[in-house]
Structure formats: C-alpha cells, structure tokens
Amino acid sequence: MHPAAVVYPATERRFLPAIPQGFGIGPREPLADGLRRVTVEQFDGALVAMATQPVGVAAHEVRKVTKRLRAVLRLVRSSLGDDRYRAENAILRDTARLLAPLRDADVRLETVSGVRERFESQLRPTVFDAMTEALSRRRDRIQDAAPDTDEWHEAVFALRSARARYAAWPVDEESARAHGMAVIPHGFAAVGGGLSATYARGRQEMAEAGRRPTADNFHAWRKRAKYLRHQLEILSPAFPEVVGGYAASLGRLGDLLGDEHDLAELLRALAARPDLSADPIERSLLVALAQHRRAELHTAALSLGSRVYAEPADRFTKRIGEYWKAWDEPLPVGFVE
C-alpha cells in the first residue's frame, strides 16, 4: 500500500462508510500526488478483476471504477481543462459501455429475484419461473462468450492505456513541462469548483425528478448522486465523521435510486417481451406491484435527498472547504484563532 494511503484504526473503521481502502487524500499528501495514486490504484483494481474474477464480477468492478474515475475528473475539471476532461471522460464512459451487457444481464436476474422475494405472497411462484429461466440463459450466453469478444479486449486495452496516462499526471513543474500539462495545485480551490458543480447539478436533477417522476429523471439524478458520493469519499479524510457520513448517506440514496432504475428496466423488458411472464393477469399484477414499489422508492429517495441537498451549492461547498482548511492547515495546540 502507498505510504500516504488513508488507514483508519479498526476501532474507527466500523463507524465509517464502505469507502474503498486508500480512496481518499492522505494527511500531508499533495493533492496532485494523492489523485494520481488514487486513480492508478483504481485502474489496477479493475485490471486485476478482469484477469482473475468471473466475467460478471469483473464487469461490475470495471463499471464501479469508471464511475469513481469520472467523479475524479469532474472534481478537477478546471485544472485539467475542458478538452482533456471531455476526452478522458468519453474514454471512461465508452469503456464502461463495452461491458454494459454483462452487468445488465446480472442486474435483471437480481431484480427478478428481489421482486420475487418481496411479492411472493401476492403472486403465484410460477409467474417468475419462465422469466428467471430466460434471463438466466441470456446471462450465461453473454458471460460465456465475453472473454473472446472484441469488446472485452477493447476494454482491457482502454484501461491499460488510460492507466499509463494517469500514472504520468505531473506532480511537479519539471514533469509538467515534459508532458505539456499543468500540475493540479494543492488546496481546496483546485476541487471546490468541481464539487460545487456536481452538487448543484444533483440538486437540480432532484428537483426535476420531484416535478416529473419519470424513470429517466430519477436515473439522471442517480448518476449525479453517485458522482457526488465518490467526490466526498476522496475528501472524506478532512472530516471522516461528517464528510464520510455524507458520503454514506449518498450511498444509501444511490441504492434507493438504483432499485428504482432496476425496476424500471424490468418493466421495460416485460413490455418488450411479454412472453417473459406469459399469463396476462399475473403479468398485469406484477407490473402493478412493481409500479407501487417504484412509487415507494420515489418517496424514500426524495425524502433522503431533501436532507442531502438541503443547502445551496455555494454554502455546501464553503462548509466542506472549511473542513479541508482545518484538516490541511491545523492550528498549533493551544492556539485560538
């Protein structure tokens, strides 16, 4: 492990959210060094998963990693410049899309299993049998073929190439001149703008989802909430009990919005392929129950979101900035400002 990686005592870790080990800026670690370390470790984790894990697990890990890395890019967009940001963001987005069918096939099955468990007392057990069998066959067919597909090899190449670029992020002026890039300056000013933009966008998406509760609007909000969560994970060492707790709340919000999205996708699949649930009466009841559950998830997400996004973006960002300042420039013992 990198010596600057954040390590909390076991007595404290149990109170913290499930933040990936080292996914945060370490004490006295220059921001440029920390972000380079964090991003390279994420790429390494994705590549190891693709080399050693079952394809479904690996695809899930790659998609998680690309979301974390896209959150980092948004955090330091002003330092990277718009052109570099757009190029790297597009590469990560397209890499995740290469493996999307693998993850989606797993998610559909997990969603059916969850719906079956939740509504088993209200629907005949056989209503899910054909659906589970068809989705299982599709999942197995996709995953069995995956390691030999062009998409799989393209994803590996894209991750390896990106890792080399991120490992070359300059941490001093000399290396910056050599690579024709700017050093990400140390200090909250380098990340404050990106954090504020992500928070403000999420707040807007939440308001739009509340006004027009469509599947697409809730999914758009979910993406912004995930970016904010990962950005706060990066910054959580500044005040783990508060910033880390905020990240944990965003994780719970992401789970609610993720469940809503999965149900919406299942309903779309049923609309496109009614044969997945052949009995029209049972299928209609299943759709009604799933829609009712989505409404419950909408209410729960908006309730939690109203607390997560309670402050205007400028006030939220200023508060996180004050935590950073107190952590990064601690006052001498006994000194009162």
Residue 74's contacts (CB-CB under 8 Å, 6 or more residues apart) are: 85, 89, 194, 197, 198, 227, 231
Tens-digit pLDDT string for the chain (337 aa): 333 333 334 443 333 334 455 688 887 789 999 999 999 999 999 999 999 999 999 999 999 999 999 999 999 999 889 999 999 999 999 999 999 998 888 888 888 888 888 887 888 877 788 888 888 998 999 999 999 999 999 999 999 999 999 999 888 887 777 667 788 889 999 999 999 999 999 999 999 999 999 999 999 999 999 999 999 999 999 999 999 999 999 999 999 999 999 999 989 988 888 888 878 888 888 899 999 999 999 999 999 999 999 999 999 999 999 999 999 886 666 555 5
Task: Give the single-character DSSP code of 187.
Answer: S
Residue 9: its pLDDT value, please?
41
pTM of the model: 0.88
> And the tokens for 280?
């029209």
